[in-house]
Amino acid sequence: MSLKPSRCLVALLLVAGGIGAGDAVAAVAACGSTDVAVNRPATASSTENAGLTASAAVDGNPGSRWGSAFSDPQWLQVDLGSSIPVCQVGLSWEAAYGKAFRIELSDDASTWRQIYATTTGTGGTQNLDVTGTGRYLRITGTQRGTGYGYSLWEVAVHTTDDGSGPVVPPTDPANPDLGPNVSVFTPSTPQADMQNRLNQIAAEMHTNQFGTQRYAVLWKPGTYTADVNLGFYTQAAGLGLSPDDVNLNGHVRVEADWLQQGDDPNNKGNATQNFWRSAENLAVTTPPDQIERWAVSQAASYRRMHLKDAPEIQLWNGGDGWASGGLFADTKIDNTVVSGSQQQWFSRNSEFGGWNGSVWNMVFTGTTGAPPQHFPNPSHTVVDQTPKVREKPFLYVDAAGSYNVFVPALRSGTAGTSWSHGPAAGTSISLADFYVVKPGASVETINAALAEGKHLLFTPGIYHLSDTIQVNRPNTVVLGLGLATLIPDTGKAAISVADVDGVNLAGLLVDAGPVNSPVLIQVGPAGSTASHAANPTSLHDVYVRIGGAHVGKATVSLQVNSNDVIGDHLWLWRGDHGDGVGWDVNTAANGLVVNGNDVTMYGLFVEHYQQYEVLWNGNGGRTYFFQNEFPYDVPNQAAWSSGDGTQGWAAYKVANNVTTHEAWGVGSYCFFSPNTSIMASRSFEVPDTAGVRFHDLVSVSLGGVGTISNVVNSTGGTANAANQQRYVVSYP
């Protein structure tokens, strides 16, 4: 059937793309004439017979129809392909019509939002003006108008996109819709309701290492009592300008209590897979004499936190458990950090009452209360000041109740936190200037928002990308909540950033798709030359995964072509366990390739890539803390060689033409479990020139499984079963 174009009042609302209380009309837009439901996938609760299928209601043929069983309720659902603003639904009923029915939209075909309902339907042709955004549209009949079922000749769906481009919905900063996977607590939230929600999420995410669920739990300024047990893909964050604006009496913790350690099935103290979670912008006061526990490994940030009164915070299970790395950044811990069996750790711009412990590689940059420099026993690397850094942007609520994103200012030559000695310097951006992205949003809409000058706030969820998100404007903020995950499905990059000043990418997980991407994240096009020293682009808590959740392939995970870029806690991981892993399955050459000059990395974790895990081609590079594991799954030596008689590929390669580069606290480990005869000639490969300097290096043969012949170039000795750790204090 055909419908005449009409005009509808488009309330472009922020309620998971639907409508809700407090929503405001933003614009009057033309409702397009194109029926976007034609030949889209359709399903139904039932069919009267094999000739009356759901697809017949969206085939553009007014002579074919869907018919349901003769009972209530019944529904017909259409997948529109991507999240779009819907302004009109046309229904052409056969004689068997719906007297009472509703129309709903959804982003995921699970959670539905009602955009129309009636109990007095009369059948015939109905052109219904509606307002809402979603990928899936469902018509649910609850009372039939006849003794037969429900029968529709055609369902037509019209959008405010008239062909001139996607419509970007505005954001109400006073009442934004952050989607169903964000819980916002206020001081008036009943404590039992809050704790029940926290417990539900914790139980669901306890062992959910490769699941698709994503959550953020947020607290508006105030005082609360809560036990926050953080599981996978969960972010706990305060919504104050200072961590002390949100005070939690209780715990914000991560336990090592689910993964078997060694051969004993009853020993669940292994924290080496406690990945993908974060605590941010909170003050925590534990009950009297109770410790805090943060037993984590990679991609688990403890950032902009204030831990009060707890006698200590333990970075492992407190007993015999293993743990493998994490981050403290912009954090104040009033008492002692006890690292225990934690193998490596990076602390930046933090303040501690004390520190106790080391294993292989503990690095402190711009941190007061750190232990003194002493490497390798204990393995403490201390850099007194952080030369140049910008803290991660964060969401907060101002005194008027409006949401904003705070972008901290660039700081140079600093020690300690940005906030504990007075208000942090920076800029606030109203959430009205953001496109709040929810699962189902199209890349076209995302890029249209960026082209309009909008920033992006990704709500928790999985985002399948058919094209590249293109960040072309300076000072753009792209911020993810709840480990928002981007999957490029078509072999393109997930994100590309132009060679411009001051872009912030933060809080994102890029998960490689099944079609090989030459690069997953590109910062600056090839050949970028501009200086950004006064306002660098920065990446904060940005993670890449290739394999583990599913088959993924990418040649390079992160390519930095722009100058002066800052990396602030990156984990680039070719999966060594989970689904879709294998030497010829989740293929990936390089984790990080740096072509720009004066690029700085703070807290760089890169693991299991098949060639140089880090390849640094630019001059003036600096790295403060590096942790690496060689690929476990090398099948044979011939499959893993960089040529010229070199066995394997170095974990960290500084190109031969580089004349200036410096690194502090760098470690590389091997565990060649399928073939213990595999050897790596060296962990670090650098040009022998005075301007290239490394401080405090370590190679480790984990359990003596495999061999690293030298730490750096031909220096440092062999790490193997006989000597599992090898250290070099400085090179050259």
Enter the tokens of residue 58.
């969206």
Strands 74-93 and 66-67: unpaired
Burial-class residue 264 by CB neighbours within 10 Å (0-12, 13-18, 19+): exposed
Rg (the chain; Cα; Å): 27
Phi, psi (degrees; rounded to nearest 5) at 484: -50, 135
Distance CA(305)–CA(327), nearest Å, equals: 12
Distance CA(697)–CA(604), nearest Å, equals: 14
Neighbours of 21 (CB within 10 A): 6
Neighbours of 118 (CB within 10 A): 14
| Cβ atoms 405, 426 nearer than 8 A | no
627: nearest Cα among 648, 651, 649, 662: 651
Residue with tokens 């819709």: 177
| Cβ atoms 549, 519 nearer than 8 A | no
Distance CA(100)–CA(141), nearest Å, equals: 6
391: nearest Cα among 411, 363, 367: 411
3-state secondary structure of 338: strand
Strands 332-338 and 344-348: unpaired
Burial-class residue 584 by CB neighbours within 10 Å (0-12, 13-18, 19+): exposed
Q: Which of 104, 255, 280, 629 is catalytic?
A: 629
Q: Is 452 a catalytic residue?
A: no
Enter the tokens of residue 668.
């590389």
- The residues, any chain, with a CB within 8 Å of residue 67's CB and separated by 6 or more, are 47, 48, 49, 52, 94, 96, 148, 149, 150, 151
Distance CA(425)–CA(402), nearest Å, equals: 20
| Cβ atoms 478, 450 nearer than 8 A | no
| Cβ atoms 720, 697 nearer than 8 A | no
Task: Please identify every residue annotated as catalytic.
Answer: 629
